[in-house]
Structures are given as structure tokens and as C-alpha cells.
Amino acid sequence: MWRRAIGLLTCALPLWASLAAQYGPLERVVYPDDLRDDLAIMRQTLEQAHPDPYRYRVKTELDMLFDAIAASMDTPMTAEGFIRAGLPVLKAIGDAGTNLEPPLGVQDLYAHTVPLIPITVRVIGGRVYLDEELKGFRSLPTACEVVRINGRPATEILALLRGAQVPEGADTTLLDRRIERNFPAMYHRHVEAGNKFEVDYRTTDGTRGTQDVFAMTMDEMRQVYKPKGIDLQAWRMEELPDIRCAWLTLSSFEEADLAAQRINPERFLNSVMGALRKSGATSLVIDVRGAHGQDPGMAEQVFGLIAQRTYRVLQSMSIRSGRVPDSYRYAVPAPEFFASVDGMYMPEANGRRVLKAEDPRLKPLKPLEKAFAGKVYVLCDGMTTGAAAAFVMLAKRTGRARTVGEETGSNASSFCGGRTIEVTLPHTGCVLRVPLTRFVPEGSPEGAANRGEMPSYAVPQRAVDLAHGKDSVRDALLRLIEEMQ
């Protein structure tokens, strides 16, 4: 009998191997016990490492939510299914910097081999407009409104893509800007997979039409699509002598991005101050739309360019407990963070450890004698987050600048960022990223506590300007500056 059983098992092994080979990273399923194990690791990480997990929901509410999700995991799921199941917890925490992402193998497929819809879009006034086609030739009218894709209304598509993301409190601007940045993969993940897409559109003059668009991989898109214009430096300045203005673009506050382009922030900002004095500019625009950075110290450095009195970026910083979380064995090591906690932070109280008051990051700074003294305007949008958002807050709250554009993507009362812990869940392979520090900016926001910093002047991109390649916000601001000369 046992010889017969071994024979059957030996025959079955090649079949099992053959079946397993048919399922790649996208189709691979994980069974309920393992799903619940990964959910428990996710729960531990958030409870032990996130610096502000109970801002919008008390612990008992999150515990009940976790328990309900665990009870619902009674059938096998793919990694994407696990992400959808865990999303309600992340939404309840309300921190857009905390993300649960697909396994690296799945991310690699999206980046190279999965067929995707080859277009990018702009979201304006709750409607979806064509931004660019990524297939090397044009088949849709320039800047047309996307009315339906494969019969599904654009409003429904937008709702699905917004609903698949973690918001920053009640702020939705960040969600729409993320859709614009990664529409092909997001559409595949959260709306539908397909090889052909029937796009119903409306042109700028109201004409309706339909066009079939065939899917392409991202590698294929990169081969045939040529981006408009040329690659520009992350930090650059344009002088506009006719209106005695300078336009300073700072598209990243991330030290690694600047280092890759050999930009030294201190040297660059000093050269800007010299150029402004030499040009006689009376107005300065600082454009930080789309900018992000982990270290608020970069906001402090940039603000030094325009500061006219003593200032500081942060009034407080805190972490959860500083103890190494139980899930650390699945994480990318961060020994320097945990080793420095005791020397920098006060003992734990009320579920967090606050940075010591004498820390240099909380000390006020004096303005530079050579700082720019003219009028300052700061442009921001929903993708202005982290250190860049902290700079916007400081510029507005000190009265040093008028802010223009959209609500920032980071919360105006406090936001989480800095160093993150990255945990790869052992069974699904999903990657959980959790920021480790809570920042409280100096000053108080004017708007609601669950929103981003509101601009002094709300100026949206206009759909009618897309067809002409115009930047509505830039044009409106330049007209204002010209009229005030």
C-alpha cells in the first residue's frame, strides 16, 4: 500500500510543478492562514512603528477593523486581493505616506511586460482629459475629454482610482495628481485589464467620437514615445526682465535627487541670491509643484533664501516608541534610526516619544543679510508633499509669500514622513512602507485639521489651456505680477 502511495505521489509531483509554473506573480494565490499571518504582521508594524496611527480612529476601532478583515479572509487571494482587503485600515489611519504595495515581482511586471493603456491624463474639475499618448503617434484629439473607456463612464473610473488610494485625511488633491502620474498601471490594477480599449471622447469644440486604443507594455512605450521638450534640472531659475521677475523651479526637495544631478543646495541658493541682486528683480516666484522631500531641513534651507526675520520650520517632532518592531526581521534594516532614539527623544508618554526641545532642528534661525527682500509667490499643488509642503506652510504662515495653486498633499496640522521602515510580508510578498516620524509645522493652518495647507489664491489648471500646451497657473500669476508693476 505504501509503495502505491509513493508511486502516486511521484506521478503527481510533475503535475503540481506544471500547474505552479502556469501561475506567475500576478496570478499566484495565498491561502487564508498565510493571509491572516501577513495581516497580523502588518498590524504589528502599524501599532509599533507608525508615529500617529490613531489620529482619526481610536485603537478599539482599528482593532475591530483588523479583526473583521481577518475574519473575511476565508478564501485564497492574490497579492492584489490582499492589498484591497487591507486598504480600509490604511484609509482609517489617513496617512498618505503609509502604503501597501504589490510584491517586487509584480511591480516589475507592471514596469516592463504587462500590457497597459498607453495614455496619460489630467484630472480637472472632476473630469478626465487626455494629456499625452505614449505610443509614438496620435490617434485621439489633443486634450479631449475622456468620456468613457470600454463603456465605463469616466466618473466611475475616477471614483475607482481615487478609492484605491490612501488619502491624507480628507484631502483629495493628492489622489488626483497620483492618478495623473501613473494612470496606465493604476487603470490596469483597479479598473480592468485589457488588450484593446474603446475610448469615447469629446473634443474642445464639443464634437463626440470613439477611437480604439491598443495596449502596450511600458517597455514598448519607452521605445516609441518621445517626451516633449528636454530633460531639465530639478532646480533651475529663469529670469523675466520685462516684468522684473525671476521664476525659480524646485521640483524636488529630495537630497538623493539633487545629488544625482550634482546640485549642491547651499551653493545653488547662494548663486540665486547673487543673480537676484544683479538682475534687480522685484518679484520672485518659487514653483514647488510636484516636489517632495523626506527631510524638513531642506525646507528650512530654501526658506533662508527669502527669510526676513527669525524663523523655524517645525515646532515638534515625535516617533512611536523607538523600539524595534516585531516585524523587523522582514524589514530593510534601519539600525541608525533605532540606535539614535534614546539620545534624541524624551521618554515615551501617551503612546509617543517627543523630540527634545534643545534639538537643533527645533531652534529658530536668523535671516541672512543677503536674502531676497522683494515680493514672493509660491506655487504648490496636490503633489507638493513632505519637506516641500513644509516650505509652503512656512512661507504662508510667516506672511513672507502669497501661495498660489492647490491644497498641498501633506496635512497642514501635522504629517508623517522622514525615514520609513519597509517590510516585505513573508507570504504575499507585499511591501508595507511606514514613515517613522511625525512632524508638526510651526504656526497654525487656516483650514480644517484634516486637510492640506490651503493656498492664498486657488488657481486650477484650465482644461481649455491643455490643447494649447499652456500652464494656466503660471500664466495667471505672470499676468498678476505684470499688472502690479
Q: What is the tens place of the pLDDT at every residue in 51-80? A: 999 999 999 999 999 999 999 999 999 999
153 burial (CB, 10 Å; 0-12 / 13-18 / 19+) is middle
The CATH H-level (homologous superfamily) assignment of domain 115-216 is PDZ domain (2.30.42.10)
Q: What does the pLDDT look like over 286-341, one tens digit per residue?
A: 999 999 999 999 999 999 999 999 999 999 999 999 999 999 999 999 999 999 99
Q: Which long-range contacts (CB under 8 A, 24 or more apart) does 124-130 make?
A: 124/460, 124/461, 124/462, 124/463, 124/466, 125/460, 125/463, 126/155, 126/158, 127/154, 127/463, 128/154, 128/157, 128/158, 129/463, 129/466, 130/201
Helices (H), 315-462: 335-339, 341-344, 386-397
Give the percent of the chain with pLDDT over 70: 94
Q: Check pLDDT > 90 for residue 7.
A: no
Q: Check pLDDT > 50 for residue 87.
A: yes
Are 20 and 27 in contact by the 8 Å Cβ rule? The answer is no
Q: Check pLDDT > 90 for residue 226.
A: no
pLDDT for 24: 82
Tell me the C-alpha distance between 172 and 478, whole Å: 27
Helix (H) or strand (E) holding 208: strand 208-214
Q: Check pLDDT > 90 for residue 112.
A: yes
C-alpha grid cell for residue 416? 508623517
The CATH H-level (homologous superfamily) assignment of domain 235-483 is 2-enoyl-CoA Hydratase; Chain A, domain 1 (3.90.226.10)
Phi, psi of 264 (to 5 degrees): -95, 110
Where in the chain are the domains? Answer: 26-101, 115-216, 235-483
Q: What is the pTM of this model?
A: 0.92
Which of 236, 245, 365 has its CA nearest to residue 296?
A: 365
pLDDT for 288: 98
